[in-house]
Structure 1
């Protein structure tokens, strides 16, 4: 049906109309279901410019699954990471996967995936607990909700054994005192679960039953119950392995495994217990409760074995209190002197057990879920697992963050608290083409994060609205400002955000429009302009940038529940800075209708605004309406967008209906009706995609402007809460369970290091810092071999002599063997121009008997001594040696000590006698240099040779 128009177009350039469709080209008339499948209504076939309506749509028409990959899983581990025995790696449970991280780099090096169960329920495959095998440090034992215990060889990335307990496993522990057995806390398989007893602790033998040895999933040879509990929150062994403690509800269940028939003794807590930790050397444990209290329990004694039926005991405890919210995790330091705690406050608290004093590491970025102790190297570190999936290492010496790792930071418990699940704008997500990054909500509703899909790394976080990171005050949750809308220009230079906070009885509402400028040099977004209440106290319904590449002609359009449409442009300040800022350019409205959606034509010549039952086309320069479109097929228009690169067609969406306008022919080209409401429409180059959501599935129909029948019908195995264009043929979205996915045609998996299972060679274990590296520098870890004493040839060259000091001191030979050569290298003799020596004097000199094993490189040069020089030495000898009484006695020579042994210092040769030599009158007397003698290690004395 042609639409009614109120005004003809004025100077609106529109493309030429294609050739109209002939009636003879339409399918012949059919009956029943065949008529529904064609989508052609014979009543409206008389209009060659309008294709008819498809009234129904069947899910059986879906062709195939649409390709998709996951960029980040929504799972955040609540299980404390497990470190290897040498502290080089740690294991983190992420859904059904085990991610192995390197402690030195905090990067994923391998991923182990548990086999899926035959039930098909994905949630049952989640891993819930993990420990190292106390009898084999290279094996990891995990438990899952499908009731299976997996034993892994993580060095070879192999699954060694699977034992089926047939009950969901929540906690797992083991001790070297109990060989080939683990203790698990499982849910009881009962249809009518009692409120008092809905879990049980079992002792499971790791030995396989003979009947299931050949099966891939084996049965345990022995399973014996220990006792019943409430839903467990902790299960742990004492350091001695004698005591087993479980926490559940308001009770701590304690038993001694040394008794022939172990049974639980219940100790009552005033508050609900949340976590459990055992002291590393003494027999007492700590618990954290829902009110933020930490208690130390001293109940492990002979009274535990005294069984009193129906009696719940109390025992001596000591308590600490700082946390305002439940304690999420506890951990003792390796020496047992400190206790670490963390929770919702995003603060790590260190308690000194002897004095009760505490220290803090505040503002770690997100609520703390797990606390672990890293023992790699000589320095102890604390590993924090945050609620948004981030891992942080805290130095025990400086109490500062040393390094960390994070991918996409999403905390569903925080983001979902106030987000609407019915609107797609509840989780804004956009693609920044300039940097090939994604901008999406962070773990806090007031912040955005920048993530790189190509490198699979978290880049940075943008705090759009500064907010208090404390989750709640007392029991009432605080209402933070939430980012509702985000758009980026096609050039990637500007970004606009809308953040809003609802008002209450104690505070007024907030609504801000902020413009951000991309600093290419710094690689970060900088706040340029903030507009307070752009539409008063009313909510902003939609924003859109014009598709211009130049900032001078760039416009932003906003629509609000105050019935106004506003355009914003860039202006330049008149002061000396001449900086650019954004300001309102125009404000207009239409018949007191509330605008809900705005879209731009590809050439920015038209602006289409949805207002109730109308679609109004505006000139963005003059803000005058060109045409008013009404679509009876869509009684309530929710959104609109231009189709194709020419902008000839305009798609209108309202409820279950989709109509396509031909702006040249000024009529509805075709109409399509869906069985469920349309969630969103995604534009392609010359077509578009319509997304329909079922309960757990999203259906996608790809349309062409020329036909009302979808060219392809596809489906995705999830529902979406936020979508954005990623590439010309692909899209990125946030699913309802907070997983980030890329879907579309020709989607290829992103290769990420450590995303697959691979072995870990022992030679690739990174070296941790040691005390020697801190003392002697990084070169202390350079592989050097000093097994034997260096030879004379090795220490004669200056480069080799100096290189000896680059290594650790404990690798160096005795200093007495290096002194002469070191001094020769550092103290160079003065260069004196020597006179020519006649042939008669050429045979005068000092010969040295060099040892046979000394290379030519270390042979010393011969000295030429004239008669005048020798006479001076004779006079000196007579004056000081033959007449000692005329001079005071000289102090004895200082003894050199090397490696703790005192030895007399000698030159290595005997006292020379007066030789008969020929002298040259031009020779200047010189004292013998320190390079003349050979090291004493050669074991031979020098001999004076003359004619």
Structure 2
């Protein structure tokens, strides 16, 4: 089993003591990257919950040189455990139990008196969540600040603060001050770094008129900066002079004439700066204290000169910013972005040396129903996932290596933080060999004017994940939106269906392929088809490419793609079909309906009838290309209930002939997720005898947060059940014709071999329905009335 896709920006990273390594919180592990190459060095895995903080405590100033190179760090997690690591050897050293989820942690330099001498000690200030208090009550104080002695492994002192939610803790570089934001106030504590005692920690409050997001302490002066939700930055100078500078029990008068200081805040002056248009996400003083770095939703690092207030900028980072961390080596810093990227910056010019990129986080893109969904494409052969990003790119991510391969820019866009959604990528599809890609981007109309749908075909370049544009087609289906894209296996042919009531078959020109990639031949429309002017909602090719199946709302139509001829129509589903897929090389077709009447149905193509069906809220489905099996990602609750992150689900693996699931797996964050079969290798397959043509088949599940897991679906150790859930009810196909009157006929085994898929049904089926001996059939007067009543829908009549 392989996992990946974790967020790299859920918590601020930390540099090693020598600045050569970068420690990043990634799910339940800490990934250690090289600061010079950006490559993964090792992983620290020991938490049973997500890691929320990683701290590399600086050695004391008077420590010997040998002690300064010791490679230890501390991590905190939602499992309520603090762990000490040797991050170079990737070994766990010790654990400290907290018992409550830890959201933030800092470890200042502190000494305490032991046996008449000052001894260097580790104390952790943690922000925890009190889960015993009800979360639904808005005024419940679930956030707590505690102190833990890491040497003794126990809590010391009383609670420092209680807040409605756990707040981020910030510590000064000297360890003398730490603080949090709490609504419109800054809470600042003075920590005795020598002869530390918990009862000697003192607190002041600094007031503001807006809600504060973040704060930072000056490295050498008694100055603190705070950033609020409106984009303002406040600089309090000389804070705590009235309380922190006097002995216990003594009182000092606060000067009433203080420039910019609000209320009874203990500070000499307060200066306000304003450049950011939105909330300030981070503040950080430079190591010499001459500059202040700030960042937010604009994707720009602003460098403020502290004495003059003048500023300069590092623009075009392409995403809102979250955190800024400097290194012990003053020539390197890093900034974390919302798009799950960590940029290593060369200081002081802040040039991007390299980036550590994870899979892009989910974005909101409106679909055809007005709600929101994620857009995925899977490269079966190269084991890549293609994800539509906020900046109109397709990110190709290697699922086995857990790393970004490339990005393909579908539409040009300059990053603007206050942009409304005016354009989005609605569909992306890749051929099974990964040689072709097709995308659909939609420009939304302004005041019902100016909408545009663009279909683009791409050819693969010199390596997997690299694509170059081949053909651009504007308004391929007039002003109608495209509902599905399907590539024909083995040929350069694709089909698109539209809600406007037609589908088109596209082929690539047969011109010889030149060596220059940019001059590849384009695509053209070969044929157009429709069915009773109904909206076409899904399309797919059979595994051998001989049949094109198109869903006309709830009716499935079968077409010959070469001649554009209708060869069959299958009975209706319960509601409009949103996904169609042939199940391997079998004679079965799987359909998915995702409306108020959800349905997962398997159709017998030769018989043009339903094999079996379930009523399931299915989020996604995928079919094997070589086996008669498919998988369903089903939600455990109605899609409209709860937020996407709260909706869990189950993956069901089916054999097409049998409605009983072969296996099932319970999964988290199913809403917004997807599943797909991937090409694997024999080392990851439990039973090598199950391999088809020497090729292993694996299943990948991507959840709503873009985290994924790859596993062998035939590994029995991973199964949570062998049968379907009890609340899932099977729907048998309704009998028609002769069977509706007299019941099913006994099945006779034929001695002759019959071709598997006769795709051309009889043009006169009524001629054979009542064939048989005359003495067996009832009189025509009884037969016709019974037959006609079987075809009519019976409805109850209300008595007036």
> Is residue 619–residue 673 contact of structure 2 (8 Å, CA) maintained in 1?
no
Is 1:152 aligned to residue 85 of structure 2?
Answer: yes
Is 1:610 aligned to residue 560 of structure 2?
Answer: no
Deviation readout 1:756-779 (Å, 9 max, x if unpaired): xxxxxxxxxxxxxxxxxxxxxxxx
Is 1:251 aligned to residue 190 of structure 2?
Answer: no
> Is residue 511–residue 521 contact of structure 2 (8 Å, CA) maintained in 1?
yes
Is 1:330 aligned to residue 330 of structure 2?
Answer: no
Q: What is aligned with 1:50?
A: none
1:540 Cα deviation after fit: 0.8
1:358 Cα deviation after fit: 1.9
Is 1:459 aligned to residue 459 of structure 2?
Answer: no
The whole-number CA distance in structure 2 between the counterparts of 1:677 and 1:90 is 40
Q: What is aligned with 2:145?
A: 201
Deviation readout 1:66-104 (Å, 9 max, x if unpaired): xx532322x333433222222222322223222222222
1:514 Cα deviation after fit: 0.6
Q: What is aligned with 1:32?
A: none
* 1:314–1:464 CA distance, 2 compared to 1 (3 A): farther
Q: What is aligned with 2:430?
A: 488
Deviation readout 1:394-441 (Å, 9 max, x if unpaired): 212443212222242x123xx1475799999732222063xx252421
1:601 Cα deviation after fit: 2.9
* 1:483–1:678 CA distance, 2 compared to 1 (3 A): closer
1:472 counterpart SS class: coil
Is 1:584 aligned to residue 517 of structure 2?
Answer: no
Equivalent residues in 2 for 1:415-494, closer than 5 Å: 415-416=363-364, 418=366, 426-431=374-379, 433=381, 436-444=382-390, 446-473=392-419, 478-494=420-436
Higher alpha-carbon deviation: 286-295 or 253-262: 253-262
Is 1:561 aligned to residue 499 of structure 2?
Answer: yes
The whole-number CA distance in structure 2 between the counterparts of 1:506 and 1:329 is 40
Is 1:294 aligned to residue 294 of structure 2?
Answer: no
1:443 Cα deviation after fit: 4.2
Is 1:169 aligned to residue 115 of structure 2?
Answer: no
> Is residue 634–residue 653 contact of structure 1 (8 Å, CA) maintained in 2?
no
Q: What is aligned with 1:268?
A: 207
1:536 counterpart SS class: coil
> Is residue 380–residue 677 contact of structure 2 (8 Å, CA) maintained in 1?
no
1:578 Cα deviation after fit: 8.3
* 1:159–1:419 CA distance, 2 compared to 1 (3 A): farther
Higher alpha-carbon deviation: 692-701 or 181-190: 181-190
The whole-number CA distance in structure 1 between the counterparts of 2:401 and 2:202 is 53
* 1:194–1:593 CA distance, 2 compared to 1 (3 A): closer
Is 1:536 aligned to residue 478 of structure 2?
Answer: yes
The whole-number CA distance in structure 1 between the counterparts of 2:236 and 2:715 is 56
The whole-number CA distance in structure 1 between the counterparts of 2:439 and 2:365 is 21
1:484 counterpart SS class: strand
1:264 counterpart SS class: strand
* 1:358–1:522 CA distance, 2 compared to 1 (3 A): farther
1:563 Cα deviation after fit: 0.7
2:413 counterpart SS class: coil
The whole-number CA distance in structure 1 between the counterparts of 2:398 and 2:443 is 29
The whole-number CA distance in structure 2 between the counterparts of 1:165 and 1:266 is 27
Equivalent residues in 2 for 1:218-257, closer than 5 Å: 218-220=153-155, 222-229=156-163, 231=165, 233-257=167-191
The whole-number CA distance in structure 2 between the counterparts of 1:355 and 1:261 is 37
The whole-number CA distance in structure 2 between the counterparts of 1:425 and 1:747 is 31
Higher alpha-carbon deviation: 154-163 or 283-292: 154-163
The whole-number CA distance in structure 1 between the counterparts of 2:78 and 2:700 is 31
Q: What is aligned with 1:396?
A: 347
> Is residue 454–residue 475 contact of structure 2 (8 Å, CA) maintained in 1?
yes
1:256 Cα deviation after fit: 3.2
> Is residue 383–residue 393 contact of structure 1 (8 Å, CA) maintained in 2?
yes
Q: What is aligned with 1:183?
A: 125
TM-score (norm 2): 0.72
Q: What is aligned with 2:328?
A: 375
* 1:558–1:132 CA distance, 2 compared to 1 (3 A): same
Where relative contact order (Cα < 8 A, 6+ residues apart) is larger, the structure is 1
* 1:626–1:185 CA distance, 2 compared to 1 (3 A): closer
Equivalent residues in 2 for 1:761-840, closer than 5 Å: none
* 1:497–1:523 CA distance, 2 compared to 1 (3 A): closer
Of 113, 118, 132, the residue aligned with 2:57 is 132
1:366 counterpart SS class: coil
* 1:352–1:196 CA distance, 2 compared to 1 (3 A): farther
Q: What is aligned with 2:630?
A: 689
1:304 counterpart SS class: coil
The whole-number CA distance in structure 2 between the counterparts of 1:714 and 1:108 is 33
Higher alpha-carbon deviation: 719-728 or 617-626: 719-728
Q: What is aligned with 2:658?
A: 708
The whole-number CA distance in structure 1 between the counterparts of 2:464 and 2:631 is 39
* 1:261–1:544 CA distance, 2 compared to 1 (3 A): same
Q: What is aligned with 1:319?
A: 272
Is 1:721 aligned to residue 654 of structure 2?
Answer: no
1:464 Cα deviation after fit: 1.0
The whole-number CA distance in structure 2 between the counterparts of 1:393 and 1:133 is 21
Q: What is aligned with 1:740?
A: 708
1:648 Cα deviation after fit: 4.1
> Is residue 730–residue 747 contact of structure 1 (8 Å, CA) maintained in 2?
no
> Is residue 148–residue 154 contact of structure 2 (8 Å, CA) maintained in 1?
no
> Is residue 364–residue 374 contact of structure 2 (8 Å, CA) maintained in 1?
no
* 1:340–1:570 CA distance, 2 compared to 1 (3 A): same
The whole-number CA distance in structure 1 between the counterparts of 2:163 and 2:464 is 56
> Is residue 163–residue 206 contact of structure 1 (8 Å, CA) maintained in 2?
yes
1:236 Cα deviation after fit: 3.2
Higher alpha-carbon deviation: 183-192 or 199-208: 183-192
The whole-number CA distance in structure 1 between the counterparts of 2:341 and 2:368 is 25
The whole-number CA distance in structure 2 between the counterparts of 1:421 and 1:637 is 14
> Is residue 239–residue 266 contact of structure 2 (8 Å, CA) maintained in 1?
no
* 1:237–1:603 CA distance, 2 compared to 1 (3 A): closer
**Structure 1: runs of 5+ lacking an equivalent:** 1-67, 117-121, 209-217, 750-947
The whole-number CA distance in structure 2 between the counterparts of 1:134 and 1:495 is 53
Q: What is aligned with 1:797?
A: none
* 1:314–1:541 CA distance, 2 compared to 1 (3 A): farther
> Is residue 23–residue 32 contact of structure 2 (8 Å, CA) maintained in 1?
yes
Of 650, 654, 671, the residue aligned with 1:698 is 650
1:479 counterpart SS class: coil
1:303 counterpart SS class: coil
1:670 Cα deviation after fit: 2.9
1:526 counterpart SS class: strand
* 1:422–1:71 CA distance, 2 compared to 1 (3 A): farther
> Is residue 430–residue 486 contact of structure 1 (8 Å, CA) maintained in 2?
no
1:541 Cα deviation after fit: 0.7
As a proportion of its length, which structure holds more strand? 2
1:497 Cα deviation after fit: 0.7
TM-score (norm 1): 0.62
Cα RMSD for the two superposed structures: 3.6
1:132 counterpart SS class: coil
Q: What is aligned with 1:69?
A: 2
1:494 Cα deviation after fit: 2.4
1:653 Cα deviation after fit: 4.8
Deviation readout 1:774-800 (Å, 9 max, x if unpaired): xxxxxxxxxxxxxxxxxxxxxxxxxxx
* 1:308–1:711 CA distance, 2 compared to 1 (3 A): same
1:302 counterpart SS class: coil
Q: What is aligned with 1:658?
A: 601
The whole-number CA distance in structure 2 between the counterparts of 1:469 and 1:110 is 34
* 1:393–1:690 CA distance, 2 compared to 1 (3 A): closer
The whole-number CA distance in structure 2 between the counterparts of 1:640 and 1:78 is 37
Deviation readout 1:55-74 (Å, 9 max, x if unpaired): xxxxxxxxxxxxx532322x
Deviation readout 1:693-745 (Å, 9 max, x if unpaired): 132232323214xx435472332424362333322622334212321332344
